[in-house]
Chain A
Amino acid sequence: MNERIIPWQPTVIAGPKQALMVTPETAKMMVKKAKRPLLILGPLAKEEPLVTHSIEISEKWDLPIVTTADTFKTYLEKGVKTKAYGVVEIINLLKDPEWNGLEGEGHHDLVIFIGGIYYMASQGLSSLKHFAPHITTLTLCKYFHSNADASFPNMKDEEWLIYLEKMKTD
């Protein structure tokens, strides 16, 4: 089996449905197609170079940002506007089809994740997979997340950084 699409923690495999492995090109298509995408940054996105990549990707695609855990402070200090939620809180809101979105303008149709703790992000993605059919999930981490709808594959840092760079272009 292609090791790039075995979940990074292999026991995360939950069932027959696996994420679609995507390249930056496909990921960008998904973002372009989305009407109201949302970027969720986890605590691993507190470190460089991920901070800069995350900010630049959000700027490129005009993505509103939710920061989970205490990631908020890092972006506050960079002057980047984000909204802080616990990861379980934002996922709880996202799975509610009646929720009106971060800005009160309607629900999000694409949720993009970067920098979550792998095993916990996997659980959060599982929640959305089961209970939020109205949402598509995409992960841009360097590990394959089988519970997402679409995920980058497992990669080494060098390749992943190239992927992230590509996310900043049309």
Chain B
Amino acid sequence: MAPKPKELKGDFWKTKDFKISIGDIIQKKETENTDEPLVSMGPTQKPSVTDLRSWDMKLLDRYEPFYSPLCDMCCLCTYGKCDLLGKKGACGIDAAAQQARIVLLACCIGSAAHSGHARHLLEYLIGKKGEDFPIEMGIGIDIEAPIMRTLIGKTPKKLGDLKEALDYVEEQMIHLLSACHTGQEGSSRDFESKALHAGLMDNLGKEIGDLAQIVALDMPKGDAQAPLVELGIGTINREKPVILCIGHNVAPGAGIMDYLEEHNLEEDLEVCGICCAAIDITRYNKNAKIVGPISKQLRFIRSGVADVIIVDEQCIRTDVLEEAKKNNAIVTATTDKMCLGLPNKTDEYPDKIVSQLINNQIEGALILDPEKVGEVAAKVAMKISKERSRTKTLPDLDEIIELAKECTECEWCDRVCPNSIPMMDAVMAASTGDLSQMQRLYNNDICYSCGRCEQECPRNIPIISMMAKIGEINLQDQKYNIRAGRGPVQDIEVRRIGAPIVLGDIPGVIAFVGCTNYPDGGEEVAKMAEEFLERNYIVVTTGCGAMTLGEYKDEEGKTLYERYSGSFEAKGLVNMGSCVSNAHIPGVAIKIANIFAKKPLEGNFEEIADYILNRVGACGVAWGAYSQKAAAIATGVNRWGIPVVVGPHASKYRRLFLGRTDKEETWQINDLRSKEVINGEPAPEHLLYAAETIGEATVMTAKLCLRPNDTSKGRQLKLNHYIDLHKKYFGTIPEDIYKFVRVQKDIPITYKRDIMEILDEKNWKPRKLPQEPSLMDMEGD
């Protein structure tokens, strides 16, 4: 009988033999296909809010929270407003704790959005397929739910099994949200621990959601050969009735595709999407098209191309109804998250809803039944398309010039622009007939069409409509592609490259994720991805980031998806899917710990996170993160030990996790093999870092792939890339290079002479190489 680890202490967890025997037991269990848990449960099954607190404190000791308040005040209760600048509030809270509290709140919102989405999906799919619908990810994936296995300690075999995990998430979220109430938590570090827990719940909620939709809707199951699908405003056939889906929930879009298929209407209508709903619809049916990331939203709605606009949940413009009305498009809301004040027509006959919509008896409809949405959307689009095609929606180019002449050069469009882009100069140039400046801002989403300039303009110049029209000048060029989201990495791929990643031979796994709040357009992100792909890194991507990468073509007109394989391998560009597919990023790191190192997963979060932090050279890049979901995603992967580089706008999240290389004591590690606590190195140096420019971000990302466990050969490779990139963007070998040379064998041959000079200057001495670097079992544990 297997021992119960919870009853054992000390060296038991360190023994290598134990890990191997667990691997055998897992194998046996799967062969026998029994529900009996033959694996031993680790110490933290279904961890509570405080169960992983000691791990969090280890992270926070090393990567101290760095706060930059967006507001000096707290206005959450009626004692306030309280000015927290150098003072405590009426409840006793100080500025640091208040920042951490707001971060927790943001992570709760983000996590709730993903988990609410997962709940919607799960209930819908269980209703459609039944609780016993099997969770089968194909022969290449045995560990189909690595996060769930680690946290819940169970392997889901059927859709109904996912409910237990989601119940757990929801319970934890209530406790976390309650901690934000006035007069609860008072410590910034404990708020951060809770934020990390909220991020972890976000990871689990996403995994549940994506797993459910992959199996029940037969999306690609880790398929490296997932098809290329069309992307870009120019791919939308404007001669057909057009249905646009915005948001994140695939169900309404799937309902539309099903209806078209069942009625042989696939060739007659165009179904397209914006944001993650678009990605997931193309995972379901490759005939759908992707308009692009969230940045396209307002300008595409304004263009009037869409006859029917289906909104589901998250990241949708809340004025979508008002905007749609301007060009007589019909809006249908489809989830409880966004009802827009529309009448609930869920129980109405579809033809009656269609009649009410096209006769303007209702200004839109709330329909909470995805199949009914499909029928109504298709019928409405076909009926109104012809009439709407005569609706003039955007100003002509001549009118743009006249509208631009209204500009008084007050400069307020520039001042309220989140990105401080030179909109006024572009408008003034347009007034002289020169549209090139507006076109430059349109291209690559330098302007992401938030519309704040329009709101401020005292002359009511419709700047976004002008941009949308100017964007149509090169419509034919706006045709790209993206590999359909493949879902998780296959176990077999991990077996193939687990060792090179952990040993450092593959220099790192870089994840480009998040939204499009880019400081200077999306092309920078694509070029950064290209840089790492060319350097043999593995690049994974999801969501709006994945779409942005698809919008960049090389000189031969090829997108990155056409140039690089979809496999999880060196030089592979792996589009995992939508926002919820972000779960597969920590997921693959967990798989590496389990498959390559045979670390048991069940109830064993801390050991897995410790392994990832010290040995898996992965780094996230969220260059345009804007949402609370992005905050939760980053915080969640941080808890697993994966660092993230964010763009300058992310400084407005109020908190980063920064290491201090000058505090050597914070980098000590325990070598589990020798049982010695030794001086470590700042690897990874930061856990959440905001960069100002893409050059800085690129160099930092390469540096954050360093891990204490790198072999000397792996370290040489990683340092070689770090130095190369530093020379490219900074012009020199990095001054801190000596901190990452442990022994002479670590020095890249190409730079040996220069580095030796630096080492001499710094009076460098070789250090011990840890065999099993860890933060566990340190003094004070």
Q: Which residue numbers of A lie inside 8 Å of B, CB to CB?
A: 8-11, 14-17, 42-43, 68-70, 72-73, 76-77, 84, 86-89, 91-93, 99, 116-120, 123-124, 126-127, 129-131, 133
Contact = CB atoms under 8 A, between A and B. Distances in A.
Nearest to A14: B72
A56 B96 CA distance: 38
Given A9-B416, A84-B735, A14 B70 contact: yes
A129 B73 CA distance: 13
Nearest to B735: A84
Nearest to A124: B68
B86 A88 contact: no
B693 A73 contact: no
A93 B66 CA distance: 10
Given A16-B72, A17-B85, 18 more contacts: A8-B420, A15-B72, A17-B72, A43-B692, A73-B731, A84-B730, A87-B692, A88-B656, A88-B658, A116-B692, A119-B420, A120-B648, A120-B690, A123-B68, A124-B68, A126-B68, A127-B68, A131-B95
A123 B651 contact: yes
B83 interface: yes
Contact size range, B: 35 or more
B422 to A, nearest CB: 13
A17 B85 CA distance: 8
Contacts of B651: 88, 119-120, 123-124
Given A15-B71, A16-B72, A73-B729, A131 B648 contact: no
B69 interface: yes
B731 A43 contact: no
Contact of B691 (A15, A86, A92, A133): A86
A76 B730 CA distance: 8
B66 A120 contact: no
Nearest to B645: A86
A129 B658 contact: no
A131 B690 contact: no
Contact of A119 (B652, B695, B699, B732): B652
Nearest to B696: A69
A130 B656 CA distance: 15
Interface in B690-730: 690-693, 695-696, 699-700, 729-730
B660 interface: yes
Contact of A129 (B85, B96, B691, B729): B85
A111 B650 CA distance: 23
A18 to B, nearest CB: 10
Contacts of B67: 127, 130-131
Given A9-B416, A70-B693, A88-B656, A126 B69 contact: yes
B95 A9 contact: no
Contacts of A124: 68, 651
A124 B735 CA distance: 24
23 contacts: A9-B418, A10-B415, A15-B72, A15-B73, A16-B72, A17-B85, A69-B691, A70-B695, A70-B729, A72-B732, A73-B729, A84-B730, A88-B66, A92-B64, A92-B658, A116-B692, A119-B652, A123-B68, A124-B651, A126-B69, A127-B69, A130-B95, A133-B86
A69 B693 contact: yes
Interface in B411-456: 415-416, 418, 420
Contacts of A73: 729-731
A42 B519 CA distance: 14
A89 to B, nearest CB: 7
B731 A117 contact: no
B689 interface: yes
Contacts of B66: 88, 91-92, 127
B83 A15 contact: yes
Nearest to A127: B68
Nearest to A99: B662
B649 interface: yes
Given A16-B83, A84-B735, A118 B729 contact: no
A97 B84 CA distance: 20
Contact of A14 (B69, B699, B700): B69
B70 A123 contact: yes
A122 B732 CA distance: 29
Contacts of B71: 14-15
A63 to B, nearest CB: 20
A118 to B, nearest CB: 6
Nearest to B651: A123
A65 to B, nearest CB: 14
A28 B415 CA distance: 28
With most chain B CB atoms within 10 A of its CB, the pick from A17, A42, A127 is A127
B689 A86 contact: yes
With most chain B CB atoms within 10 A of its CB, the pick from A72, A91, A116, A133 is A72
A86 B70 contact: no
Given A123-B70, A123-B652, A130-B69, A117 B85 contact: no
B689 A117 contact: no
B696 A117 contact: no
Contacts of B732: 72, 76
A117 B519 contact: yes
Interface string B44-72: 00000000000000000000101111111
Contacts of B662: 93, 99
Contacts of B693: 43, 69-70
A167 B67 CA distance: 32
Nearest to B99: A130
Nearest to B734: A84
A3 B73 CA distance: 23
Contacts of B85: 15-17, 129-130
Contacts of B648: 117, 119-120
B690 A88 contact: yes
Nearest to B419: A119
Contacts of A69: 691-693, 695-696
B637 to A, nearest CB: 19
Interface in B63-101: 64, 66-73, 83-86, 95-96
A104 B103 CA distance: 34
Contacts of A15: 71-73, 83, 85
A72 to B, nearest CB: 5
Given A43-B693, A88-B651, A124-B651, A131 B72 contact: no
B649 A119 contact: yes
B218 to A, nearest CB: 44
Contact of A92 (B69, B660, B695, B735): B660
